Structures are given as structure tokens and as C-alpha cells.
Amino acid sequence: MSVGSLLGARGATGLDLDLLAGAAGLERRISLPYIQKTGLALAGFDEYLRAGRVLIFGESEIRFLEHLAAPERLQALRRLFGRDLPCVMVTMGLEAPPELAAEAERAGVPLLRTALPTPMAIGRLTILLEDRMAPRETRHGVLMDILGLGVFITGESGIGKSECALDLVVRGHRLVADDTVEVRCRSQSILIGTCPELTRHHIEIRGIGLINVTDLFGVSATRSSKRIELTVQLERWDPEREYDRLGLDVATVDMLGVNLPLVTMPVAPGRNVAMLVEVAARNQILRTRGRHAARLLTRKLERRLERLGDRHADDDPEPGDL
């Protein structure tokens, strides 16, 4: 993300950034979403400053600079701007020392200022950078919010994904995206799915065409984004294939480096796919709460077999009784 883009997004993030100096460096790139404070860098320990990370100047850094003699202040700032910094941000609306603005202008490093306190500025900036710099890709499928669980429905074209989504909407669930799902990964383990702005709230139904779900079912039938927590793979019924009938083993699928639970759902005439997808979502919610129906039943069977085995052992005659 460029510093210019960050400056342009100031209203959306609530940072309300002002450019104080270094306008020539607005094309500098922020490559890491993690913020760094100068810490001891102003005192000479600047080897720990990392390239590509925004540098924060809070009240302690500004006051430290003010207490330095002019030659020492200039030397510390030149050593600091000798690092490959994308930009420097001053928080709390503090006045930057003249040498700070001058060195930023000389080095071509944008000097920004926000009125927010340092912790709040770091928090909002981190959220923005993590969102903008998150790995992302576009997937073909349907994303639904089923009872608060984000379910990504995938399968070959024409298998009935959109019809399943429409049936789920009729059952009271919410559409996030149809046909094209934009997925981004946050915090290395959270997948967020959204719909492109152009096709948002729309479903394509063969034989009917495009329909607007919000117009037909109301605003409560859609949402703009949802965390993806389950994948349902629709595939045509293959009589030669042996499908899982117990559900003891949990299959997974990789999406942007995150393993998601996978349910393979065979599609055949007479099977209510939407109802089965809803049941799969309900079952996944129970599993996340520690209730795995197949494993609980298996343990009950094992305990009963153990009791039967002990009973038969007690009924067996001893060798001396024969």
C-alpha cells in the first residue's frame, strides 16, 4: 500500500491525517501492517527499525527530541531517516520540531500527523493495513450466512448452487455473494468473503435470469461480508462411489493457506440440497461447541460392547468347575 493511498483513506479510517512534509515520497510503499515506535532508535539503537513499516512518533519521542541539543537532535534524525522508512506519523496533534519536518522533506519521507492518541492511532492504522494488505483471491461459488455460520457452497457450473442459495434465503438465511466470491485472509487464519460491488445482492437463476434478493426478500436477506467457516462441495451423485455415511473423519480444504472443514454433498433427484446444507451448517456449529454426534455415538457403542464383553466373561465357567 502506498503512503498516498493511506493519506487518501484518512476519512474512511477516522485517522484524519495531515501531510506536514515529504510530499515527494507519497509513492513509498508500506509492505508490513505492523506499526513500529522509535523506542531507543533516537538514542542510537536504530538497527531494530524495519523497512516497510510505519514509524510512530508519540509524546515521549517528541519530548525526547525537544530535550536534545540541536546538533544531537539533527544527528539522531538523520540516522533515523537513513533507514528505509515508508512514512513517519506524529500522533496527538503534536507540533513536530522544525528539524523533523526538514529532515523528512530532505529524505523524501512523508511526515503525517493525526489528532488521535497514540494507542487509538496504532489500532486504527493496523486494522486498515491488515485489511488492505491481506492475501486475497476470487473464487467461484456461493457464500451464505446460515445461522451465523459462513458457508461457502462450491461445485461445477450448473449443478444448482444458485438455486440452493435461493432456497436457503426463502428458509430465512442470508446471501453474501453469488457466483463470484472475493476472499481475503486476515491474521493468517480468518477468511472473509465479500461480493463484488457490481453484482451485490443479485442471484442468477437459469430460466428466470437475474433477481435482486434485497428487493424481493428485504434488506435482512443479505449482508455485505461474512467470515467463511465451512465449505460444502456439491457434486453429481456417482453410484460407483462410496460416500461417507458416519462422518467420523473431518475432511478439509485449503483456502489461502487456511484449512476449512469440507462436506461433500452428492446431488441427485429427490434430495433437498438446501435442507441438507442447512443441516450441515447446524452440525458444524455443534462440532465447534464440542458435540460431535458420530463420535459420541461411537463411544456409546464402545462402552456397551465393553459391558457385554465383561458380562460374557463373568458367565464363562472356570476350568475347575468343569
List active site positions.
140, 161, 179, 245
- DSSP secondary structure letter of residue 316: S
Cα separation of 105 and 288, whole Å? 54
141 CB contacts (<8 Å, ≥6 apart)?
152, 153, 154, 155, 161, 179, 181
C-beta separation of 184 from 226 below 8 A = no
Give the angle 63-64-66 at the CA atoms, nearest 5°: 65
User: Position 79: which residue type?
Assistant: R
Q: Quote the distance between the C-alpha of residue 103 and its chain's center.
A: 38
Q: Tell me the angle at which helices 98-107 and 70-81 cross, rounded to the nearest 10 degrees.
A: 30
Cα separation of 267 and 169, whole Å? 19
Report how far apart, in Å, the C-alpha atoms of 11 and of each of 16, 21, 182 are.
6, 20, 24
Give the burial class of 144: count Cβ atoms within 10 A of its Cβ; 0-12 exposed, 13-18 middle, 19 or more buried: buried
Cα separation of 121 and 129, whole Å? 12
C-beta separation of 250 from 261 below 8 A = yes
76: part of which helix (H) or strand (E)? Answer: helix 70-81
Q: DSSP letter string over 152-199?
A: EEEESTTSSHHHHHHHHHHTT-EEEEEEEEEEEEETTTEEEEE--GGG
3-state secondary structure of 276: helix
Torsions phi, psi for 140 (to 5 deg): -90, 125
The H-assigned helical ranges of 260-315 are: 273-288, 293-315
